[in-house]
A and B are shown apart, each in its own frame.
Chain A
Amino acid sequence: MKLFGYKRNNNSVGFRNHFLVVPTVICATRTAQEIVNHVDGAVLLDNQHGCNHMKQDHEKVFDVLIGMASNPNVAGVLYIGLGCETIPTKQIAEQAKKTNKPVECLIIQEEGGTLQTAQKGIRLLEKMIRDIGSFEKTEVDFSDVIVAIECGGSDTTSGIASNPVVGYVADKIIDLGGTVVFSETTEIIGAEHLLAKRAINNEVAQKLLALVNKCEKSALAGGEDIRGVNPTPGNIQGGLTTLEEKSLGAIYKAGTKTIVDVLDYAKPITEKGLIFMDSPGHDVESVTGMVSGGAQIIIFTTGRGTPTGCPIAPVIKVCANPRTYQKMSDNIDFDASTVIEGKETISQAGERLFNELVEVINGKKTKTEILKHHEFAIYLTQPTL
């Protein structure tokens, strides 16, 4: 099965062409939205942060604003800053230019307000798109593919069927030379011993276990037992009883391969194979981290049903709950309830999902893309000052 993608100047491969408008601070989002409204192909990164962060959060915001722009699905970037915020817009733009893609930067206080900045931004993007000219897809290899695996709104069907089906696909991607990244540190609690056994070496195993410990400790320091929010009320209604049960079902989605690397949130994915990234169970924040790391496509399992997407990457929604699939068919791309109903085995459904993945890679739009589900959120852990 052949794959076709867009080769970027830095040798990365994109499967979509987005022109990303990034307000580096919340105060610039209205202006950025105005630009996006007038330019076909432009997408807004709806950033609600960018000022008065403490050190760790400052780094996360910094990494995400560069990482999302560096993602190979992005053809060009326009940063919009206000001018007095703590996130250094021009420095971020300079960093993003290292990807060799067109990057522009405007500062609202220097341009003279919303209207003048918007007008200039529209012209800059128009020129950027014209200068790039036509896009041609070329045949690419599976080693160019990074798939993020996510789950959200889980119920018991996630662990019984949709996660194992996705796990089958994850294994297949890695066998073909590709990369799979999964995350959600809170949702491996109770199953981390099984994942640590699959680490490529002791260092990777220890890093994974350290992330789980840190996650539990930081929640306790905030006065909250981490299990105070997990499983969620929806999980419980769906039949999940404990966090351990949720975690054991959740890790099926990462397949069975060796874990070759453990990354901090939103850091670049550099290894091939199966990778774990630190993130919260909050699915939008988690997807944002993995896409900032370089993932071009997301496979997302859900039992309760969730509409969320990503501004720059297609999200393939997989559901194995027949009732949810019926009720949420506007939002779900792939029906894995066949497994629950005994009509397909895990591997048969897995092959079907793999074919869907290839079609999406090659341009078939997912429901999140068609409905413009462009949710974006950054995982912050410190108070904003």
Chain B
Amino acid sequence: MDAIVFSKKDNVATAIKNLSKDQEVLVNFENTTLKIKLNHDIPFGHKFAIKDIKKESEVFKYGEPIGIATQDIKTGDYVHVHNVSGKRGVRRYTT
């Protein structure tokens, strides 16, 4: 397995190894295994989208909202501070 999803509500997965752009990765999700082609490199511990996420809709991890998408996010996109903002406030760092 390449990444972890916690809840059927989640729309992101967390990489448990370094993953590369164009790689097809396996994610266990709702008793099935999803195969997702990555659009970016995803470092260990970082997240990517397992569903398309519309701008200004909620990003879910652990079955709970962790923030709002600040732009449209496509399945396989890297998900981090560049395209997600905390709902309860924003850290204005860039990576």
Contact = CB atoms under 8 A, between A and B. Distances in A.
Interface of A: 155-157, 159-160, 189-191, 194, 225-228, 230-231, 233, 236-239, 241-245, 248-249, 303, 321, 323, 340, 342
A225 B91 CA distance: 9
Given A225-B89, A225-B90, A241-B86, 4 more contacts: A238-B45, A239-B47, A244-B67, A245-B66
Nearest to B90: A227
B86 A242 contact: yes
B25 interface: no
Contacts of A243: 86, 88-89, 91
Interface stretch (B33-41, B49-57, B77-85): B77-85
Interface of B is mostly: loop
Contact of A242 (B44, B91, B95): B91
Nearest to A157: B45
A153 to B, nearest CB: 13
Interface of A is mostly: helix
A226 B67 contact: no
**Interface bracket on B:** 20 to 34
A239 B80 contact: yes
B86 A227 contact: yes
Given A227-B89, A228-B91, A160 B14 contact: yes
A244 B64 contact: yes
A157 B47 CA distance: 12
Nearest to A158: B45
A236 B95 contact: yes
5 pairs of A and B residues whose beta carbons are closest in the complex:
A227-B89, A242-B86, A239-B45, A156-B45, A245-B66
5 contacts: A189-B88, A226-B89, A244-B86, A244-B87, A303-B45
B14 A227 contact: no
A245 B67 contact: yes
B88 A227 contact: yes
Contacts of B65: 244
B14 A156 contact: yes
B14 A241 contact: no
B11 to A, nearest CB: 13
A32 B14 CA distance: 49
Nearest to B62: A248
| Most chain A Cβ neighbours within 10 Å, of B14, B45, B66, B85 | B45
A242 B43 CA distance: 17
Contacts of B95: 236-237
Given A227-B86, A236-B93, A239-B14, A248 B45 contact: no
